[in-house]
C-alpha cells in the first residue's frame, strides 16, 4: 500500500490578507513616471521610470464630448472624451443619466480625470490608508489622500466602496473641514475597482482655493469645442513632474488550503527505491529486514484516480521507521 486516504478533517482553508507596494518597482512611492504620450487622444499610460511597464493610465472624460475630435464629423458630440465619461459614469453609478457628483459646488460635474491603476499593480484592491498623491503643477502643490480613516461609515457605489479625496496623508484629512466650497471635493477613491476619479474643477482652482491651477481646455460651457486638447496629457505631465509623487499599496487575499498528512508509525517504513534492493527485490542491508528505515523527501497529493495533482518537498530527508510518526502540513496557495 502506498496511497493513504485523506479525511475531510485533514483539510483546513485559510484566507490571509496581504498588502504590498502597488508599483512594479517594489517601492510604494512612484516618482517621475514616464508618460507614453502627452498627445494621446484617449488615455495616457504611465510607465515606471526607465521601463515600459504600465503602472496606471490617465483618461479625461467630458459629458458632451468636448476637448476631443469627433469620431465622425457627421455625428455631433461623439468623441473619445464622451466615451470615457460615459464609461466611468456607467461603472460608478450604473446610470447613463447621472453626472459625477463631487459634492457642494460641483454636484453635476461636466468632466472628470480618471486614474486607472494597472490590474497587476493593484492585484485585488487598493489599500485605502496608504494612498498619497502629491501633485506639483510648477510649484503649486496639493497633497491628496482619501478619508478612509475619518469616515465613520463606508459608502458603496455600483463599483464597490468609495471614499472622498481630501487634502492630508495616509487616509486622514489634514483639517477637520476640508475644502469643498465652490468646486466640490477633489474626487473619489474606488479601491475595489482600482480607480481614482479626480474633479477637474477642484484641481483647476487657484492655490488660494486649494487647487493647483490645472485648467482643462474646452471644458466649461460656452467654451466647448471638438478640437484635440489632450487634457489627460496635461495631468500626466503634472504627475511626471519631479515634485509629484504617488504612493499606494495593493491588497490581496491569499487563500491557502492546508492538508495535514499524518504518517503513523506502522506505515511507510519500506520503499520502492531501486537503490535499496537487488535485482530480485531483496533488501541490500539485512539490518533493514526487521528495522527498516526510509527517508521521505516528497509528499504527493492525488485524486481518486491516483493522478498526481500537487507535490511538496521537505527541506531535508525525514527519517521514518516503526518507532517514528510524522505530521506534515502541506500548504497549497491559490
Partner 1 sequence: MGYLNGTSVVVDAILTKKGRELLARNDGSFRITQFALADDEVDYTLYNPNHPSGSAFYGEAIEKMPVLEAFPDDTQIMKYKLITLPRGTAKIPVLNVGYTEIKLKQGASLAITPQTLNYLGASSTFEQSGYIATIGDVRTMSSFKGVGINTPAVNNLNSTTTVGTVVSQTVIGTTINLSATTVNTLFGSNTTLKTTLTIVGRDSGARISVPVTITKTNV
Taking CB under 8 A as the binding criterion, the range among 111-119, 177-185, 215-223, 309-317 that sits at the site for partner 1 is 309-317
- Within 10 Å of residue 139's Cβ, how many Cβ atoms? 10
Do residues 163 and 146 touch, judged by C-beta distance below 8 A? Answer: yes
Taking CB under 8 A as the binding criterion, the range among 3-11, 41-49, 54-62, 87-95 that sits at the site for partner 1 is 3-11
Do residues 255 and 331 touch, judged by C-beta distance below 8 A? Answer: no
Residue 119 interacting with partner 1 (CB under 8 A): no
Q: Is 318 helix (H, G, I), strand (E, B) or coil?
A: strand
Residue 290 interacting with partner 1 (CB under 8 A): yes
Residue 254 Cβ, how far from partner 1 at the closest point, in Å?
12
Residue 282 interacting with partner 1 (CB under 8 A): yes
Residue 15 interacting with partner 1 (CB under 8 A): no
Cα angle vertex 194, ends 196, 65, to 5°?
Answer: 50
Map grid coordinates 459614469 to a residue: 89
Residue 121 interacting with partner 1 (CB under 8 A): no
Residues of 278-299 as b/e, b for ≥16 C-beta within 10 angstroms? eeeeeeeeeebeeebbbebeeb
> CA–CA separation, 5 vs 318, rounded Å?
21
- Contact positions with partner 1 (CB under 8 A) in 312-331: 312-320, 322, 326-331
Residue 220 interacting with partner 1 (CB under 8 A): no
Residue 296 interacting with partner 1 (CB under 8 A): yes
> CA–CA separation, 14 vs 254, rounded Å?
8
The residue from 15, 152, 175, 272 that contacts partner 1 (CB under 8 A) is 272
Residue 303 interacting with partner 1 (CB under 8 A): yes
Comparison of 20 and 312: residue with beta carbon closer to partner 1: 312
Q: Is the dihedral of CA 75, 80, 82, 83 positive or negative?
A: positive
Binding-residue total with partner 1 (CB under 8 A): 71
Do residues 22 and 33 touch, judged by C-beta distance below 8 A? Answer: no
- Contact positions with partner 1 (CB under 8 A) in 53-82: none
Comparison of 215 and 283: residue with beta carbon closer to partner 1: 283
The residue from 1, 176, 177, 221 that contacts partner 1 (CB under 8 A) is 1
Q: How far apart are the first and last CA of the chain?
A: 30
Comparison of 81 and 271: residue with beta carbon closer to partner 1: 271
Residue 302 interacting with partner 1 (CB under 8 A): yes
- Within 10 Å of residue 205's Cβ, how many Cβ atoms? 22
Taking CB under 8 A as the binding criterion, the range among 109-117, 165-173, 183-191, 268-276 that sits at the site for partner 1 is 268-276
- Sequence-distant (6+) residues with CB within 8 A of 306 are 3
Residue 287 interacting with partner 1 (CB under 8 A): yes
Alpha helices per DSSP H over 191-230: 200-204
- Contact positions with partner 1 (CB under 8 A) in 227-266: 259-261, 263, 266
> CA–CA separation, 23 vs 254, rounded Å?
19
Comparison of 74 and 284: residue with beta carbon closer to partner 1: 284
Residue 100 Cβ, how far from partner 1 at the closest point, in Å?
40
Comparison of 11 and 156: residue with beta carbon closer to partner 1: 11
Amino acid at each position: 500500500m502506498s496511497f493513504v486516504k485523506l479525511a475531510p478533517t485533514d483539510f483546513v482553508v485559510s484566507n490571509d490578507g496581504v498588502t504590498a507596494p502597488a508599483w512594479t518597482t517594489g517601492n510604494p512611492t512612484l516618482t517621475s513616471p514616464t508618460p507614453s504620450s502627452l498627445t494621446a487622444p484617449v488615455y495616457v499610460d504611465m510607465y515606471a521610470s526607465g521601463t515600459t511597464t504600465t503602472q496606471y493610465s490617465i483618461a479625461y472624460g467630458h459629458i458632451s464630448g468636448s476637448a476631443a475630435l469627433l469620431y465622425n464629423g457627421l455625428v455631433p458630440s461623439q468623441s473619445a472624451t464622451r466615451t470615457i465619461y460615459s464609461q466611468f459614469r456607467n461603472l460608478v453609478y450604473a446610470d447613463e443619466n447621472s453626472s459625477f457628483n463631487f459634492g457642494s459646488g460641483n454636484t453635476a460635474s461636466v468632466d472628470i480625470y480618471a486614474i486607472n491603476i494597472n490590474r497587476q499593480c493593484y492585484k485585488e484592491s487598493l489599500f485605502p490608508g496608504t494612498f498619497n498623491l502629491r501633485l506639483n503643477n510648477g510649484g503649486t502643490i496639493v497633497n491628496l489622500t482619501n478619508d478612509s480613516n475619518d469616515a465613520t461609515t463606508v459608502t458603496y457605489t455600483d463599483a464597490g466602496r468609495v471614499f472622498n479625496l481630501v487634502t492630508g496623508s495616509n487616509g486622514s484629512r489634514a483639517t477637520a473641514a476640508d475644502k469643498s466650497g465652490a468646486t466640490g471635493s477633489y474626487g473619489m477613491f474606488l479601491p475595489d475597482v482600482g480607480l481614482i476619479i479626480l474633479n477637474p474643477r477642484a484641481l483647476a482652482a487657484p492655490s488660494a482655493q486649494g487647487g493647483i491651477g490645472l485648467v482643462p481646455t474646452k471644458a466649461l460651457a460656452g467654451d466647448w469645442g471638438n478640437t484635440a486638447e489632450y487634457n489627460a496629457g496635461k495631468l500626466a505631465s503634472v504627475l511626471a513632474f519631479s515634485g509629484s509623487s504617488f504612493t499606494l499599496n495593493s491588497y490581496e487575499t491569499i487563500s491557502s488550503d492546508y492538508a495535514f498528512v499524518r504518517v503513523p508509525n506502522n506505515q511507510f517504513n519500506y520503499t520502492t527505491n531501486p537503490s535499496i534492493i537487488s535485482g530480485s527485490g531483496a533488501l541490500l542491508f539485512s539490518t533493514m529486514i526487521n528495522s527498516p528505515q526510509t527517508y521521505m523527501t516528497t509528499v504527493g497529493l492525488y485524486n481518486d484516480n491516483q493522478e498526481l495533482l500537487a507535490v511538496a518537498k521537505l527541506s531535508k530527508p525525514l527519517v521514518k521507521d516503526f518507532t517514528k510518526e510524522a505530521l506534515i502540513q502541506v500548504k497549497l496557495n491559490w
